[in-house]
């Protein structure tokens, strides 16, 4: 049977890069957490921007909806197709070249399919830092990072993916190439199209390349774990730390005692910094352009002041970068410990930092009232106002049965986040998963503007339909 559309795709990128066999397509269809498997008419694997443009032209001509896909590590079903079988997946994996590292301008030019870790390493090889860092960095691609405006652990100091990008190349929904690959820190020449495509999750166009900002590599980063009575103390501790060390504060992560007990239970080999339990902990990191000695002295001075003022009850300060890594491992094992404990209901919310303690108090109360005995695993990037507020069933209760309560639990958590001026998606995006939630919490004025922009840039509606809007 002749398929005119697929034949034109084969003409553009060669038959072996147009995957139609079920076994060939399978690796592209299931989302990262294994919750959903879509269908695709084909998987298209272009080699360069010109091929992407021609493929999008073919999609436009034949009205074929397309789903741009990078490392497929998203958590909101943004990069997998729906189950109609009508969509094609546009895999950017072959656009994986780093073509220019300009140390004088502190920028690098990368293609969308470059894996984040590859970019970090290429920068480090030049003695520079590309600060974006997140759990999936070994698999995720920069095109996906930019399309979802990824966050991660370095946002406090360096900002989200948006703040780390100076310029973009985008294939529009008409299959034209927009070369916005500017390496400029100041450019006030019209509308900010760059930031419109960043975070648009592939619904307005396909990001094919980017100019990224690089930073000098700090000479040292030193970590401490502080014991606190409650989240209110974390707020005053954060203010004090920022006052004392300014931009040298590169991480400020809150973790409840329940998080640490979960980690200790599932990973008994990890350090146990305190002999007695405290209700909350803050992991903080100070980086210095000067020296390890300077970082340690700065951190110790600030912590001594924090304890004297009652902003923390106890502290363990790493005295070397090696000890620092050990403390970070506790933080990084929370998600793994949670997975080992069974399924749970995750939320990726953000709040004005000053509202975090009251949000936690009220939401904990509301959940315990509705679901007695449920267990809250609350941790996150408090310096950015971002909490991972996850909910697990009571000890011994069925995890699968508990998951049936997800809509009601989402409602409590998201309603409270919204009421406290927060967001239902801090760093993961909307995708297909949170689309219903988005329309619940966004104002009609904002939704209408978003729809008007979608229609203006993608009038045929072929770009990643069913995501965000």
Give the phi and the psi of residue 182 in degrees, each rounded to 5: -95, 135
Q: How far apart, in whole angstroms, are the C-alpha atoms of residue 356 and residue 387?
A: 8
Q: How far apart, in whole angstroms, are the C-alpha atoms of residue 80 and residue 67?
A: 7
- Applying CB under 8 A, the span of 42-50, 359-367, 403-411, 447-455 interacting with a copy of itself comes to 447-455
Chain residues 32-51 in contact with a copy of itself, contact rule CB under 8 A = none
Minimal distance in Å, beta carbon 181 to a copy of itself? 9
Give the one residue of 49, 79, 91, 172 binding a copy of itself; rule: CB under 8 A. 172
Minimal distance in Å, beta carbon 204 to a copy of itself? 8
Of 123, 58, 45, the closest CA to residue 90 belongs to: 45
Give the one residue of 427, 432, 462, 464 binding a copy of itself; rule: CB under 8 A. 427
Q: Report DSSP letters for 216-279, one per residue.
A: EPPSEEEEEEEEESSHHHHHHHHHHHHHHHGGGEEEEEEEEHHHHHHHHHH-TTS----SS--S
Pairing of strands 88-91, 42-44: parallel
Give the one residue of 2, 189, 269, 276 binding a copy of itself; rule: CB under 8 A. 189
Question: How many other CB atoms are there within 10 angstroms of residue 128's CB atom?
Answer: 20
Is 155 a binding residue for a copy of itself by CB under 8 A? The answer is yes
Give the phi and the psi of residue 98 in degrees, each rounded to 5: -100, 110
Point out which residues pair with 283 in neighbouring strands: 225, 253
Query: How many residues in the shown chain lie near a copy of itself by CB under 8 A?
Result: 93
Minimal distance in Å, beta carbon 409 to a copy of itself? 19
Angle in degrees, CA 211, 81, 135, rounded to 5: 50
Chain residues 69-98 in contact with a copy of itself, contact rule CB under 8 A = none
Minimal distance in Å, beta carbon 236 to a copy of itself? 8
Q: What are 313's two structure tokens?
A: 């009850």
Minimal distance in Å, beta carbon 225 to a copy of itself? 22
Q: How far apart, in whole angstroms, are the C-alpha atoms of residue 372 and residue 393?
A: 9
Is 196 a binding residue for a copy of itself by CB under 8 A? The answer is yes
Question: CA dist 164 to 87, 157, 190, 211, 371, Å?
Answer: 31, 11, 20, 9, 41
Chain residues 228-247 in contact with a copy of itself, contact rule CB under 8 A = 235, 239, 242-247
Rounded to the nearest 10 degrees, how much is the dihedral formed by the CA atoms of 370, 372, 373, 378?
20
DSSP run (H or E) holding 413? helix 406-419
Minimal distance in Å, beta carbon 461 to a copy of itself? 14
Give the one residue of 5, 267, 274, 441 binding a copy of itself; rule: CB under 8 A. 441
- Applying CB under 8 A, the span of 191-199, 309-317, 365-373, 392-400 interacting with a copy of itself comes to 191-199
Q: 382-392: string of b/e by CB count within 10 Å (b at 16+)?
A: bbbbbbbbbbb
Minimal distance in Å, beta carbon 201 to a copy of itself? 9
- Applying CB under 8 A, the span of 137-145, 189-197, 222-230, 255-263 interacting with a copy of itself comes to 189-197
Minimal distance in Å, beta carbon 163 to a copy of itself? 7
Is 144 a binding residue for a copy of itself by CB under 8 A? The answer is no
Binding mask 257-296 for a copy of itself (x = CB under 8 A): ------------------------------xxxx------
Chain residues 349-408 in contact with a copy of itself, contact rule CB under 8 A = 350-355, 381, 384-386
Q: 65-97: string of b/e by CB count within 10 Å (b at 16+)?
A: bbbbbbbbbbbbbbbbbbeeeebbbbbbbbbbe
Q: How far apart, in whole angstroms, are the C-alpha atoms of residue 136 and residue 97?
A: 19
Is 160 a binding residue for a copy of itself by CB under 8 A? The answer is yes
Give the one residue of 94, 182, 278, 411 binding a copy of itself; rule: CB under 8 A. 182
Give the one residue of 1, 16, 104, 369 binding a copy of itself; rule: CB under 8 A. 104
Minimal distance in Å, beta carbon 389 to a copy of itself? 14
Binding mask 329-348 for a copy of itself (x = CB under 8 A): --------------------
For a copy of itself, give the closer residue by CB, 314 or 358: 358
Is 453 a binding residue for a copy of itself by CB under 8 A? The answer is yes
Q: How far apart, in whole angstroms, are the C-alpha atoms of residue 297 and residue 98?
A: 38
């Amino acid at each position: 049977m002749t398929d005119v559309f697929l034949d034109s795709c084969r003409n553009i990128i060669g038959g072996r890069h147009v995957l139609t066999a079920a076994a060939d397509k399978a690796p592209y269809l299931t989302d990262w957490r294994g919750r959903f498997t879509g269908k695709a008419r084909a998987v298209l694997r272009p080699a360069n921007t010109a091929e992407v443009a021609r493929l999008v032209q073919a999609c436009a001509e034949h009205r074929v909806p397309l789903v741009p896909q990078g490392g497929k590590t998203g958590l909101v079903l943004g990069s997998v197709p729906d189950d109609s079988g009508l969509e094609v997946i546009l895999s950017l994996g072959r656009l994986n070249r780093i073509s220019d590292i300009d140390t004088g301008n502190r920028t690098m030019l990368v293609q969308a399919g470059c894996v984040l870790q590859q970019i970090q390493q290429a920068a480090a090889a030049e003695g520079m830092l590309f600060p974006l860092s997140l759990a999936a960095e070994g698999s995720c691609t920069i095109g996906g990072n930019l399309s979802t405006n990824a966050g991660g652990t370095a946002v406090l100091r360096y900002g989200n993916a948006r703040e780390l990008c100076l310029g973009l190349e985008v294939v529009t929904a008409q299959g034209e190439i927009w070369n916005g690959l500017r390496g400029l820190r100041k450019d006030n020449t019209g509308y900010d199209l760059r930031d419109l495509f960043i975070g648009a999750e592939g619904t307005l166009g396909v990001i094919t390349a980017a100019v990224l900002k690089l930073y000098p590599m700090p000479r040292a980063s030193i970590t401490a774990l502080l014991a606190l009575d409650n989240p209110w103390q974390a707020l005053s501790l954060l203010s004090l730390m920022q006052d004392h060390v300014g931009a040298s504060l590169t991480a400020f992560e809150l973790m409840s005692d329940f998080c640490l007990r979960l980690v200790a239970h599932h990973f008994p080999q990890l350090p146990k910094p305190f002999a007695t339990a405290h209700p909350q902990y803050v992991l903080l990191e100070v980086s210095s352009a000067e020296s390890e000695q300077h970082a340690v002295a700065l951190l110790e001075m600030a912590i001594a002041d924090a304890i004297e003022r009652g902003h923390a009850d106890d502290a363990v300060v790493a005295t070397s970068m090696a000890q620092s890594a050990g403390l970070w491992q506790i933080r990084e094992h929370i998600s793994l410990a949670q997975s080992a404990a069974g399924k749970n209901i995750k939320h990726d919310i953000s709040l004005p930092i000053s509202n975090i303690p009251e949000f936690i108090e009220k939401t904990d109360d509301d959940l315990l009232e509705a679901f007695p005995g449920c267990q809250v695993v609350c941790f996150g990037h408090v310096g950015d106002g971002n909490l991972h507020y996850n909910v697990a069933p009571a000890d011994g209760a069925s995890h699968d049965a508990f998951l049936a309560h997800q809509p009601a639990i989402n409602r409590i958590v998201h309603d409270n986040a919204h009421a406290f001026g927060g967001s239902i998606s801090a760093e993961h995006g909307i995708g297909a998963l949170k689309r219903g939630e988005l329309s619940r919490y966004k104002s009609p004025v904002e939704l209408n503007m978003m729809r008007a922009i979608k229609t203006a840039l993608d009038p045929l509606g072929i770009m990643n339909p069913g995501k965000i809007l």
